[in-house]
Amino acid sequence: MSSLIELRDLTKTYGRGDAAFKALRGVDMDIGRGEFIAVMGPSGSGKSTLMNLLGCLDTPTSGSYRFDGIAVESLNKDQRSLLRRHALGFIFQGFNLLARTSALENVELPLLYRGYSRKQRHDLARKALASVGLPDKERNTPSELSGGQQQRVAIARAIVTNPGTLFADEPTGNLDTRTTGEVMDLLCRLNEDLGITVIMVTHEDEVARYAKRIIHVRDGLIGSDVANPRRNTPTH
């Protein structure tokens, strides 16, 4: 398995002087292309900081971060934005859908920034919605959809640009048990069938068990990094 992400002695410090807080204290990590990773840890452990750095939403204080061979720490803000736009997809706990906009239009949003024509946007968004099992919900607004359906729309939006890597931040945090299983089955399918690398933050052991590998962050360091021996089997 080829290496997609390489972190070497990565640190992140907020503030200065006596007020300085070391959120990450020297993280070393390798993530292979096509992996499904769960990142866990208590509040304040550094896991959210780590995900922000991995997702190119922030920059490290020191150390090296290479994404697909690119030295991310040397990129400026615009270059990081281009990397996010063309290589990464994001799923959030709160769905982050536009309330008065149809499912189809929500999914089309990332394509607007790429300059796709109206027809191209419609075709790609319809394909993405069909891939998450919502071909009949194109015209529905978020208020007309269940929580699970809203998260599926959010996943369709994340994959409509065909990213190689998907970051999921507590993707089931607002869902019931049954719907959680459906969403996790979908993420497993995207990982296994399309080869998308999935990096997920979760505090739920049952959700983490869908991942192939579980990383625990403690006090700004990697506390453990192990293959998952008890992986939940998707029902598809």
CATH assignment at residue 27: 3.40.50.300
| CB-CB contact of 26 with 49 (8 Å) | no
Spatial distance between the Cα atoms of 136 and 146, rounded to a whole number of angstroms? 14
- The stretch 125-136 carries a mean pLDDT of 95
What whole-number percentage of the chain has pLDDT above 90? 87
- Cα–Cα nearest to 31, from 65, 3, 56: 3
Provide the pLDDT for residue 144.
97
Q: Whole domain around residue 73: which residue ranges?
A: 3-227
| CB-CB contact of 158 with 91 (8 Å) | yes
Calculated CA dihedral for residues 202, 203, 209, 211, nearest 10 degrees: 20
Provide the pLDDT for residue 10.
97
Q: Look at residue 153 and tell me if it is in a domain.
A: yes
Q: Look at residue 71 and tell me if it is in a domain.
A: yes
Q: Look at residue 232 and tell me if it is in a domain.
A: no
Q: How many domains does the chain have?
A: 1
Q: Look at residue 12 and tell me if it is in a domain.
A: yes
Q: Look at residue 235 and tell me if it is in a domain.
A: no
Residue 42 neighbours by CB under 8 Å, 6+ apart: 218
- The stretch 173-194 carries a mean pLDDT of 92
- Encoded tokens for 201: 């933050």
What whole-number percentage of the chain has pLDDT above 70? 98
Q: Look at residue 213 and tell me if it is in a domain.
A: yes
Q: Look at residue 168 and tell me if it is in a domain.
A: yes
Provide the pLDDT for residue 78.
94
Spatial distance between the Cα atoms of 82 and 166, rounded to a whole number of angstroms? 15
Provide the pLDDT for residue 114.
84
- The stretch 152-171 carries a mean pLDDT of 95
Q: Look at residue 236 and tell me if it is in a domain.
A: no
Task: Bin 56: left if φ > 0, else alpha if -120 < ψ < 50, else beta.
Answer: left
2 pLDDT tier (thresholds 50, 70, 90): confident
231 pLDDT tier (thresholds 50, 70, 90): confident
